[in-house]
């Protein structure tokens, strides 16, 4: 009877190579994430030899990101964000604005259109939450003052990018791209619906969640 072992082989090869390359990166005074990336490249479709199931690897990666963010949420609360808001909020906004401007200026110098340059700058303006959280955990500074400021900074960046992703479809026509389907409903309505969903989710977590799962 044939058996499908793609899940087992992907997990075994991924974890095994990640451990080896992560250890090697640590011995070379580099972050273990560098080794993890090299392990992924080695078993990916762009290199010869064993090729892991890309679809399964993507799903496993999503699970890993969810678990990592869940672990951060156990150590970080809304009160922690409010405690560092004087640094995180203006700092993240200024950093996004400056990085977006520099990236857009570079893209314009390359001859890109204004809309493409703006999107390129926005892509460069935010850091990887997963990578930085992992780096903070490895250094044991996630619960420190600087670590909480960094996490708050990342949260502000993520919230800003949520708004950007909401606004891009209705603005795609103005930015020189093809108008997204449903963009005719208007940017204001799209933003209003999204904010309503976010507010409902926050209310569900803060009000219902506290009653169902008390500490």
Which of 32-41, 49-58, 101-110, 165-174: highest mean pLDDT? Answer: 101-110
188 or 182: which carries more pLDDT confidence?
188
152 or 183: which carries more pLDDT confidence?
152
DSSP state of 206: I
| For residues 37-47, average pLDDT | 85
Indicate the pLDDT class of residue 1, thresholds 50, 70 and 90: very low
pLDDT over 90 (residue 47): no
170: left (phi over 0), alpha (psi -120 to 50) or beta: alpha
| For residues 204-210, average pLDDT | 72
- Read off the pLDDT of residues 2-37 as tens digits, 9 standing for 90 and up: 566 788 888 888 888 889 998 898 888 888 888 888
| For residues 68-76, average pLDDT | 69
168 or 96: which carries more pLDDT confidence?
96
43 or 209: which carries more pLDDT confidence?
43
- What is the distance between the alpha carbons of residues 77 and 17, in angstroms, rounded to a whole number? 35
pLDDT over 80 (residue 182): no
Indicate the pTM of the whole model.
Answer: 0.67
pLDDT over 90 (residue 105): yes
| For residues 132-154, average pLDDT | 82
CA triplet 184, 186, 190: central angle to 5 degrees?
115
C-alpha neighbours within 13 Å on the C-beta side of residue 202: 8
pLDDT over 90 (residue 147): no
Q: Phi, psi (5° rounding) for residue 180? A: -70, 150
Q: Residue 186: its pLDDT value, please?
A: 59
Domain boundaries, the chain: 1-75, 77-184
């Amino acid at each position: 009877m044939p058996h499908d072992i793609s899940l087992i082989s992907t997990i075994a090869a991924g974890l095994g190579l990640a451990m080896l390359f992560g250890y090697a990166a640590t011995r070379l005074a580099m972050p273990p994430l560098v080794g993890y990336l090299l392990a992924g490249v080695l078993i990916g479709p762009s290199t010869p030899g064993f090729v892991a199931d890309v679809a399964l690897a993507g799903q496993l990666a999503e699970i890993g990101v969810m678990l990592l963010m869940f672990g951060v949420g156990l150590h970080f609360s809304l009160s922690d964000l409010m405690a560092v808001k004087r640094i995180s909020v203006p700092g993240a906004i200024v950093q996004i604005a400056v990085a977006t401007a520099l990236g857009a200026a570079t893209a314009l110098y390359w001859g890109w259109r204004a809309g493409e340059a703006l999107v390129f700058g926005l892509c460069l303006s935010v850091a990887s939450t997963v990578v930085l959280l992992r780096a903070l955990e490895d250094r044991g500074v996630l619960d420190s003052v600087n670590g909480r400021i960094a996490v708050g900074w990342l949260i502000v960046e993520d919230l800003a990018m949520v708004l950007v992703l909401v606004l891009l479809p209705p603005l795609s026509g103005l930015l020189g791209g093809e108008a997204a389907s449903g963009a005719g409903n208007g940017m204001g309505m799209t933003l209003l619906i999204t904010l309503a969903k976010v507010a409902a989710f926050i209310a569900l977590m803060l009000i219902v969640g506290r009653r169902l799962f008390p500490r």
